[in-house]
Each structure stands twice: as C-alpha cells, then as structure tokens.
Amino acid sequence: MHLPEGLDWVRGTPVGRAWLAALPTWLTECAERWSLRVGPPFRQAYASLALPADLPDGTAAVLKLQYPDEESRFEADALAHWNGEAAIRLLAHDPGRRALLLERCQPGTPLHDLPADRALDAVIGLLPRLWRPAGAPFTPLAQEAAGWIDRMPRAWERAGRPYERRLLDAALDLLTGLASSQGEQVLVNQDLHAGNILAADALAEDRGPWLAIDPKPLTGEREFSVVPMVRGPELGHSPTAVRHRLDRFSAELGLNRERVRGWTIGHTLAWSVAGDLVFPEKIEVVRWLLDTRAG
C-alpha cells in the first residue's frame, strides 16, 4: 500500500509510527467486516487514510481510517447527528479502529473549483442546515479555547517566536473574552474549509448539490463556524479576499462581524504552529484582520 505523501508527517512520532504499522491489518479487517471491494487511497490526505470502496450491493462508499488525534475524535458522532443533512452520511463505524464507512460524494468536486463568490453563495446556503443544537459528547468551544490559550505561549516560544508578541497578546485577549460571552450553542466544525465541501449531484436532490465532509466538531456559537472559510486560502489569499469573506458571511448569515473577526484571529493563530511546523499564511491572515476594524 502506497501512502499519500500528505501523511508523511505521521512518521515523525511514536504514535504515528504505531498507527502506520496497524493500518494494513485494520484495512483488511474492515474490508472483511463490511464486505468491501477497496481501491487505491485518495491522494489528498493529511490526517487519515481514505480509500474508495464498493459495498456488495454496488453502493459507492469511502473507507476512512483516522489518525488518532483529538480534533477528529467525534467525527462519526457529528455525521450521525447531521444524519445526511448538508453533510456526508455515516454508513458504519468501528470506534476501536477509528474506522468510518461513509457514502461517497459524486462527482466529488471540491468547492474551491467554483469562482470565489459562487463558492461563498454555496457556503451561505449550507451552513444554516448544519447549525443544530448539540451537547455531549462534543467538546464545548469554551473548553477548546481554554486549551489554545494555555498552549499558545509555549508553542510560540518552542517555535522560536515566529511572529510578533503583539499578535499573541491580541489573540489571547480576544479568545478570553469571546469564550465567556457566547450566544446559543450549536454544532460547529472547526475545519470547514473549501476543500471539505464536495459536489454530491449524484445523491438525493434535496441534500445536494454540496455536502460537508471531515468535520472536527465542537459545540459553540454560530460566529465560530465560518472561521475556516474566512481564513482559508482556497478562495483567495489576500487582505481583500479575507475581508470580503468576513463581510459577506457576517452580513448574509446575520452574524456579529467583530465576533467572527475575533474568533478568526484567535483560532488561526492557535493553528499557525504545530510542533516544529509554522504556517506563515495563517500568520498573515491574523495580521490582516488585526488591521481590520468594525465597519
């Protein structure tokens, strides 16, 4: 089995090497358990191994073996909660192997293949269908934010202070204030970028034409749910593009613009450092938004 290059990073930790060693056995066991005919892995993979699969009745599916991170721990629960509404449907789940059997989006074209404003139109139509009240087992956004606040200064130091202290101080202040003053709690996805929404024209008309995949779920206020789309480079990486997305989502979804801006600054900076890796494009987004005032 030839792994996608995007999974090379997992070889750098004992947990990752153990997961890689177990994958061939788990793949065989899952294929046998669900009577699957499995194809080569999808090449676009960074936090899981995903393979096209066919069920005995010909149903097109995807077999997904998750890397054991905390952020995707409740992915199956989120998909079950949505039950196919605006998101891909969960067909089966093996918690011990972190294995998910999912329906397959067809044609599966990513949202970022559309012109930017047409893509934003699709997101604006999709998100309200995902905003469902939820509680356990999902992690509250306030709890997750407390973890970011705790870890960010240490990560900044270990990475060699890759950005200005003013960015760190601003993000910590914003996260502290936002976490304690949220509105109604709904199921939100902290990784809903334009590569995680796929065309699903071949599925039921009342569910398509776009469905969300790969959720990293939390419960939090609606303003947080657009953060990955505001910062994501897939629909344009420039101050103008980022601010345009901020303005459109805030206005057309009835969201508090300053809270969207604050959550984007805090979450984006929290995700700008991962171990030894630093993501300069995320730091750029934080700088641009710190220079963006209310209006």
Pick the closest to residue 220 from 166, 263, 257, 250 (CA basis).
263
Could you check whether the bond before residue 110 is cis, i.e. omega within 30 degrees of 0?
Answer: no
Task: Quote the DSSP letter at residue 7.
Answer: G
Active site residue 191: yes
Q: How far apart are CA 54 and CA 248, in angstroms?
A: 40
User: Can you tell me the distance from the alpha carbon of 258 to that of 293, in angstroms, rounded to the nearest whole number?
Assistant: 8
Who contacts 266 (Cβ-Cβ below 8 Å, separation ≥6)? 145, 148, 171, 172, 174, 175, 178
- The answer to whether the CB of 215 falls within 8 A of the CB of 100 is no
* The one catalytic residue among 69, 94, 191, 201: 191
The residues that are catalytic are 191
